[in-house]
Chains A and B, each alone.
Chain A
């Protein structure tokens, strides 16, 4: 299938949120674009799914905190149907004894609400305020660079040099003290930073969990400060670090993106798995579908991860060995499982009122708790006492469950992708452990469960085509960032084969439902792969 008048300008492999953003942006600039999605519906890891009759939940990503404002503005996502059921989700750090710590708004962003729960000392309150200001300032710097194309590592052109200078200047402009602090902690671990500043174990545990959600890190792993900054770099309605829930679940975000794409004349084809990227005379000229159909286009843009794109769809034979080595070396080992519970009514959490349950609930009572949960993961075992990020989105959005009933969606860590002995045999045991932990906080929860679904990284890989079940198509580590994301030689969204581009979470700036990778890639496709 080709549009009237010849080949497409671009064919996008994969209709995840970045593929949709890229397609819509290209369409907006007048390009004729087609998306080919392997699954029967669009959205990738940003989808909603009915996991039990009448119960709908965000299938993978469940909190919207990083959607890039430039993306939502450019595509006018609200006009295309994106509504938030809450834009100021609070956070409660659950304490085993019931003396929970409640935050209005996002953790670390709004002042803690003390009341009946944990009382932060004056010292902690002032330290937290100082730490928050600093981290948000650093996160703001990240935010600014998320919508830019990284320079080349072997900066040979003046543009690359300028890109590097811009980064250096941005860091320098923080001023002497903050710059030193950024350089001191950027590669460091969050546990050290928090132990330096704060006393409350509950507070440190909660921030520590936020730092390591969706990563292969524990709070004592180097790089875990960066991952916290990454998380804080998002903005909702201009508020840094805020958390939101989309109405209808995460699928509503990609639905709006798809609507924006369609409005820009993008053709969308689902249930069309791509078999290979067609290369002629050292140029990507289209894709061949599993069905044998060939779709020709001037540019091939892949929303799939770099390993799948380069080694499976393109083939190493079109690439050089050094590049193949780097692609093979991309670390993407998922450690987060996703839990979905259908509930016949709102559970009771000890020490919390029903109205508190609309907030995000964290089970991470201390840094040690999270680190101890992480330890077995290093050796291919799941956490016997996992840490969790829990939401009950149906409180904000009644469309997700039948009247009076609710859905619970939780990220559960740690569940290593490469579990010793395989997930088949271990899944029930892990589920039992999770229910034990949850029941300790919400004794009647187990009785309210009418259906449940546990997605291991293996399941996430299969369902959402996430390599290794990793949210970000590759660990957000300092050696896999910016001009080295996904690898040096492809960090400007153009693969070494002319005409082939990468627009997925594996590229700068990374995953989370952000869309910046898709947006930046679109800009590069329009420029024809030349450096900005």
Chain B
């Protein structure tokens, strides 16, 4: 077979491509970090309801993965990330984010502690130059292992039941943000209790050679548990309900943006809880300390908006016509039965009253403008107890 030249390759295919391509009936695809992935397999609503009521499979192989190893790996991550990594032990996963010198967020991601001095960092965007330059003075090796690991996210209330049906004994005891090693068809398989839907769910990590079998076994194990492949559009609905931020939406990656004033600090996207000033120096610490003293410019809030029209990218006004911010993500939440949004507001804003979203709806050749009153609410719109329960339930 003649191999195409690198410049002839328009998109990369994930290790699950043979399976996802067969299942993607709409032929709606998008590129994610160079890989082609389905937006919708059959129907966005069906996929969304499967995520909330049964189980879904979402191919997360394109997620950028870095192996971070060496005697200084832990200290390095403590310098890179704003949170205290000393508390993250082998078998645990930590959500974190990292900043540039000005304390502005570069990206968020998860760090898997695989063993002593052995970590894996997963993020949406690629950041190798920044990661390598941050390693100056540390004895640490950083390698992009994205293509070397196939990963799929199994999410939904019946996800634990699916894994049990596959024979993973004791999987229900796996705590949130923990991971454990299993075997599948002769391949080592790591299962972590993590995900991006805000529900009970797992992510499964395997070498690419085992990907096809993993997918098939999952679909087989989930046959009686309502399993369905999940496209990225339905995934986005679930992450908004969960109040999760996304790079390029709630914040722009600090090392990829051109306008420094558009960046956001952790405090400005509701991630202040991830900043630990006590652990010693980390990148951006001095700037964040200054911000802590002088105050932030923005706040990321959850909004409950009147009506049922999603306020996509709406301006948020206070009182008559004072513009105070913008909606970053919006959704009519089928599960919460609320018109919800994440919004970036300039501080200080008056939380108590007078906020309204300027919603435009295009209805058959006509723009209709809705001045929809809104309230600032907890941005974890959807956060069911089953997400956190151990042992995990079956439905």
Contact = CB atoms under 8 A, between A and B. Distances in A.
Interface stretch (A38-46, A53-61, A311-319, A467-475): A311-319
Interface stretch (B28-36, B128-136, B321-329): B128-136
A322 B100 CA distance: 7
B126 to A, nearest CB: 16
A321 B101 contact: yes
Interface string A298-320: 00000000000001000111111
A420 interface: no
A285 to B, nearest CB: 14
Given A321-B130, A496-B286, A311 B281 contact: no
B138 A317 contact: yes
Contacts of A79: none
Interface residues of A, number: 16
Contacts of B283: 320-321
B185 interface: no
A322 B134 CA distance: 8
A321 B281 contact: no
A316 B137 contact: yes
B100 A282 contact: no
Contacts of B285: 282, 320
Contact of B133 (A282, A325, A496): A325
Interface string B75-86: 100010000000
B137 A311 contact: yes
A328 B138 CA distance: 15
A321 B137 contact: no
Given A282-B286, A489-B101, A324 B281 contact: no
Contacts of B136: 311, 316, 324, 328
A84 B210 CA distance: 82
A314 to B, nearest CB: 10
Nearest to A314: B137
A145 interface: no
A317 B133 contact: no
A320 B137 contact: no
A318 B78 CA distance: 12
Best-buried of B100, B101, B283, B285 by chain A (most CB within 10 Å): B101
Contacts of B100: 320-322
A51 interface: no
A317 B101 contact: no
A280 to B, nearest CB: 11
A321 B281 CA distance: 12
Contacts of B138: 316-317
B284 interface: yes
Interface in B83-127: 100-101
A322 B281 contact: no
B139 to A, nearest CB: 12
Nearest to A312: B137
A319 B281 CA distance: 8
Best-buried of B134, B281, B286 by chain A (most CB within 10 Å): B281
Nearest to A319: B281
Interface string A477-490: 00000000000010
B286 A317 contact: no
B101 A315 contact: no
Nearest to A327: B136
B281 A317 contact: yes
B86 to A, nearest CB: 15
Nearest to A496: B286
A489 B79 CA distance: 19
Contacts of A496: 286
Contacts of B130: 321
Nearest to A282: B281
Interface in A490-515: 496
Given A316-B136, A317-B281, A328-B136, A323 B79 contact: no
Interface in B147-192: none
B133 A324 contact: yes
A320 B284 contact: yes
Contact of A318 (B134, B281, B284): B281
Interface in B260-286: 281, 283-286
Contacts of B281: 282, 317-319
A193 to B, nearest CB: 35
Nearest to A281: B280
A328 B100 CA distance: 17
Best-buried of A282, A316, A320, A324 by chain B (most CB within 10 Å): A320
A382 B282 CA distance: 44
A168 to B, nearest CB: 23
A489 B283 CA distance: 14
A319 B135 CA distance: 11
Contact of B79 (A282, A317, A322, A328): A317
16 contacts: A282-B285, A311-B136, A311-B137, A315-B137, A316-B136, A316-B138, A317-B137, A317-B138, A317-B281, A321-B101, A322-B101, A324-B133, A324-B134, A324-B136, A325-B133, A328-B133
Given A321-B133, A324-B137, A328-B133, 15 more contacts: A282-B281, A282-B285, A282-B286, A311-B136, A316-B136, A316-B138, A319-B281, A320-B100, A320-B283, A321-B101, A321-B134, A322-B100, A324-B134, A324-B136, A496-B286
Interface of B: 75, 79, 100-101, 130, 133-134, 136-138, 281, 283-286
Interface of A: 282, 311, 315-325, 328, 489, 496
